[in-house]
Amino acid sequence: MPILETRDVTKRFGGLVAVNQVCMTVNNNEILGIIGPNGAGKTSFINALTGIYKPSSGQVFFQDKEITGLPAYKIAKQGISRTFQNLRVFSNISVLENVLIGAHCRIDNPFHHIFLRPLRSRKIEHQAYEKVIALLKNVGLEEKKETLAKNLAYGEQRILEICRALASDPQLLILDEPCAGMNSMEMDTLADFVKKLRNEGNTIVVIEHNMRFMMTVSDRIIVMTAGAKFREGTPEEIRNDLEVQKVYLGEQEAERC
């Protein structure tokens, strides 16, 4: 049974069809890659299923429950967390505070409990702190927990953003262009981290341009072009598909490959 399913999801902006009847399933404990050239509709599709955009038509189901058109914060509470193409760490607060913000939607500690139930309130805050410290330790950022996020190396900021998403205990983690701006060494570190997350039981969807990265981490790949799903298969099948090569390289260049 898939953890996520989309049925004919379509998103229109006036006369422009950015996403065209996309059907997709995501299985538990897999890394699903979504690739395609610029303008293929990848991010618009993800925005439509995570509540940034409301789909013009179609349906989205998460754990057998329809979530079509729900606002982003409600979808996050259902158990879907994501990062964005453009880095969105909070630059002027600490690494620790960045990740605590991600844990906020899972902390059941109403403001009035600070005064009426102080012992319970402190216990809940301590549990959140311990959880965040464990996350930072897992990625090698524990010793930098008091460092301002803007003072981290770029690759570390990307990892921090993923940790903030993980702090909400998602059932599904979506990474949008996580390699953007990374060098080869940072990319390899990220690939190892993503595969480690999958091995720990996480389910992940990755949208990315870098083919080397995607072929390394993905269990299954969907190719999009012109807003629609074009191909689906294993990394090996996608790598050897002449039609996919034409989408990326053009017909003449693909025939030379």
From 241, 219, 246, select the one nearest 33 (Cα to Cα): 219
pLDDT per position as a tens digit, 19-67: 999 999 999 999 999 999 888 999 999 999 999 999 999 999 999 999 9
Report the run of H or E that residue 176 belongs to, with start and end. Answer: strand 172-176
Q: At CA 141, angle to CA 30 and CA 131, rounded to 5?
A: 70
Q: Is the pLDDT assigned to residue 180 strictly greater than 80?
A: yes
214 burial level (CB within 10 Å; 0-12, 13-18, 19+): buried
Q: Is the pLDDT assigned to residue 242 strictly greater than 50?
A: yes
Q: Is the pLDDT assigned to residue 254 strictly greater than 50?
A: no
Sequence letter at residue 249: L
Residue 222 · residue 41 · CB < 8 Å: no
Q: Helix 154-166 to helix 184-199 angle, to the nearest 10 degrees?
A: 20
Q: Is the pLDDT assigned to residue 194 strictly greater than 70?
A: yes
Q: Is the pLDDT assigned to residue 13 strictly greater than 60?
A: yes
Q: What is the mean pLDDT of the chain?
A: 87
Q: Is the pLDDT assigned to residue 252 strictly greater than 50?
A: no
Which tokens sit at 254?
A: 């693909």
Q: How far apart are CA 59 and CA 122, in angstroms?
A: 41
What is the per-residue pLDDT for 128? 72
* Mean pLDDT across 142-161: 91
What is the per-residue pLDDT for 64? 92
Torsion of CA 23, 29, 31, 32, to 10 degrees: 0
What is the per-residue pLDDT for 253? 44
Q: Is the pLDDT assigned to residue 72 strictly greater than 80?
A: yes
Query: In DSSP terms, which residues pair with 146 in a beta bridge?
Result: none
* Mean pLDDT across 191-213: 92
Which tokens sit at 183?
A: 């060098």
pLDDT band at 216 (very low <50, low <70, confident <90, very high): very high
The residue ranges of every structural domain in the chain are 4-256
Q: Is the pLDDT assigned to residue 111 strictly greater than 60?
A: no
pLDDT band at 107 (very low <50, low <70, confident <90, very high): low
Q: Greater confidence, 255 or 83? A: 83
> What is the third-level CATH fold of 4-256?
Rossmann fold (3.40.50)
Q: How far apart are CA 210 and CA 235, in angstroms?
A: 13
The reported pTM is 0.84
Which tokens sit at 126?
A: 């301590």
Q: Greater confidence, 250 or 131? A: 131
